[in-house]
Amino acid sequence: MKVTVVGSGFGGLSAAALLAKDGFDVTVIEKNEQPGGRASVYADKDFYFDMGPSWYLMPDVYENFYAEFGKKPEDFFQLEKLDPSYRIFFGDKKLVDVASDIEKNYELFDSLEENGAEKLKEYLKSSEELYEFSLHEMLYKDYRSILDFLNGKLLLRGYKLNIWENLQHYVNKKFESDEARKILEYAIGFLGGSPANTPSFYHLMSHVDLTMGVFYPQGGMRKVVDSMYKLAQSYGVEFHFNESVELLEIHEHKLKRIITNKGAYDTDLAIINADYAHSELDLLTKDNRTYDEKYWDSRVMAPSAMVVYLGVDRQFEKLVHHNLFLDEDWEHGFDTIFDPKKAAWPENPSYYVNVPSRTDKSAAPSGSDTLFLLIPLAPGLEDTPQLRESFYDMIMDDLESKLGENIRDHIVVKRIFALNDFKERYNAYKGTALGLSHTLRQSALWRPAHQSKKVKNLFYSGHYTHPGIGVPMTLISSQIVAEEIKDQFSK
Ligand SMILES: Cc1cc2nc3c(=O)[nH]c(=O)nc-3n(C[C@H](O)[C@H](O)[C@H](O)COP(=O)(O)OP(=O)(O)OC[C@H]3O[C@@H](n4cnc5c(N)ncnc54)[C@H](O)[C@@H]3O)c2cc1C
């Protein structure tokens, strides 16, 4: 049976490999020149940049994925646990390291507020319970109706999920210090939300980064992409790069052909990994869409971003592998990203600096650093070269002043990637970097469906679908889709 996968992001690669392993005849069509999607690679003058993901979290989910092929992550790359996990600069006043050793983090919380360690232990106990529950009862399940969602175990746990409370409220009632609150809330950025618009049950993310730890695959996230690309090829998947899908041709609610800028493909079924909104609005006629323009326009989109890739001819030792620069008034910053009425290029943004060369000699020439700056922005903002450059200067002024060092005189490679690039390179709706936020009404059952409601042989995998944003979630979404397809079409 012929399966065509549109897009070779993690969602496309993983779905292709899983179905090919089970005997489907799989072809992948990708508009860009390389696999990986948002996890593409940019290389210049021996500086190597993972263009998107840099945090390897939830190692158990990766293990589970490779186990489907009788493999382990170590068969493909060497994983290193980072220590410190990350460094946080609180305004220009204070700097703390979050350690890979949980005992050190208890000590840290004791130094931040009275009974901090005890409070953190209690918080992480609940966070771990929820993580384990979600992993075993929620993340790998497809939700097609409210009945699937309200299964017995979930109902029993319902009172503990506390779905009506937001994360900000939950954290604020448990912790007093600004620093402790921010350490527990920032992780929600991984899910493309703000503490005020994300349900409190996502405090499970603190188990992920504080207890399980932060990992780095030697050679970068591109090694993970590479492993899945090779895995898919080893099962016979055929890849077509630099080819854009332009139309999904439907006859009587069945997908028959896929039209690209280079030709046409007959297919028995398709998995769309390209941005869901783009696929529905640009590749399907109105009568074949599950969700219309109004639906997409009313969604809470996850942030876009301005990402700056810098190769510098010296090393900046004050920076560790992952560094967060959190603004004192970060609530105002969240408003400029999530409140459509206040959407703007922020004046005092919080931002993230990744330095893979701190851990990985292959990331930069000897004695140099590879810097990756990420500043979240509201999706849909105007994006011009002038706006980018003045924003870049503002961020560099801030970064240089916090490090007490000049960076700009040391730049050998510089590339800025922002809203318009997300639109052009990935067909991202409103230039979103991360897809669809995890608000309550956009979680689980309420995320866009894995199978089209109009076209029976059309499926979707990737960060727009359940379970959602992030590489591990995207792998799970493919595992769900592959199971669904095998169930419906193998017989
Ligand atoms: C800057 C950034 C930092 C991130 N950091 C992290 C992190 O640290 N850790 C983490 O786990 N996650 C992180 N994420 C999120 C993670 O990268 C994504 O959730 C995940 O990679 C999404 O994968 P996907 O396959 O769903 O989508 P994509 O990677 O976007 O793949 C979709 C593919 O479809 C292709 N396509 C689109 N339209 C067409 C068309 N018409 N025809 C053919 N092909 C098409 C695109 O080119 C793309 O290759 C980050 C994301 C970004 C952008």
CATH of the domain at 472: 3.50.50.60
Confidence band (pLDDT; 50, 70, 90) for 445?
A: confident
Last residue of a domain, one of 211, 237, 258: 211
Residues 128 and 206 in one domain: yes
CA of 220 to the centre of ligand 1 (A): 16
Mutating to test ligand 1, I would choose from 27, 29, 38 the residue with most ligand atoms within 8 A of its C-beta, which is 38
Residues 142 and 171 in one domain: yes
Residue 316: inside a domain = no
pLDDT by residue (tens digit) across 362-379? 999 999 999 999 999 999
Residues 74 and 6 in one domain: yes
Last residue of a domain, one of 190, 211, 232: 211
Residues 185 and 266 in one domain: no
pLDDT score, position 147: 65
pLDDT score, position 312: 98
Identify the three-state secondary structure at position 248. strand
Query: Of the segments 130-134, 186-190, 329-333, which one has the largest average pLDDT value?
Result: 130-134
Residues 241 and 178 in one domain: no
Residue 103: inside a domain = no
pTM, rounded to two decimals:
0.96
Residue 362: inside a domain = no
Distance of CA 360 to the CA centre of its chain: 22
Give the residue, by CA position, lying nearest to ligand 1 atom 6: 53
Q: Which domain holds residue 247?
A: 2-41+55-78+218-299+438-489
The span from the CA of 4 to the CA of 279, in Å, is 14
Residues 168 and 144 in one domain: yes
Confidence band (pLDDT; 50, 70, 90) for 124?
A: very high
Residues 198 and 248 in one domain: no
Q: Is the pLDDT of residue 159 over 60?
A: no
The span from the CA of 202 to the CA of 195, in Å, is 9
Last residue of a domain, one of 165, 192, 211: 211
From the CA of 422, give the closest atom in ligand 1: 53
Number of domains in the chain: 2
Residues 270 and 203 in one domain: no
Residues 270 and 188 in one domain: no
Which residues' Cβ are closer than 6 Å to ligand 1? 6-12, 29-32, 37-39, 52-55, 57, 244-245, 273-275, 278, 305, 307, 374, 426-427, 433-434, 462-463, 469-471, 474
Residue 309: inside a domain = no
CA of 11 to the centre of ligand 1 (A): 8
Mean predicted confidence (pLDDT) in 223-227: 98
CA of 433 to the centre of ligand 1 (A): 8
Residue 353: inside a domain = no
Q: Is the pLDDT of residue 112 over 80?
A: yes
The span from the CA of 347 to the CA of 344, in Å, is 9
Q: Is the pLDDT of residue 169 over 90?
A: yes
Residue 63: inside a domain = yes
Query: Residues with Cβ < 8 Å from 27, sequence gap 6 or more?
Result: 2, 3, 4, 5, 237, 238, 239, 240, 265, 267
Query: Residues with Cβ < 8 Å from 322, sequence gap 6 or more?
Result: 54, 55, 82, 85, 86, 87, 214, 352, 354
Give the residue, by CA position, lying nearest to ligand 1 atom 22: 463
The span from the CA of 384 to the CA of 375, in Å, is 16
Q: Is the pLDDT of residue 150 over 70?
A: no
From the CA of 283, give the closest atom in ligand 1: 41
Residues 198 and 238 in one domain: no
Cα 424–Cα 425–Cα 429 angle in degrees, nearest 5: 60
DSSP single-letter state for residue 328: T
Residues 455 and 478 in one domain: yes
Give the residue, 440 or 7, on which the prediction is more confident. Answer: 7
CA of 40 to the centre of ligand 1 (A): 8
Residues 140 and 71 in one domain: no
Q: Is the pLDDT of residue 79 over 70?
A: yes
CATH number, domain with residue 175? 1.10.405
Residue 449: inside a domain = yes
Residue 307: inside a domain = no
Exposed, middle or buried by CB within 10 Å (0-12, 13-18, 19+), for 67? exposed
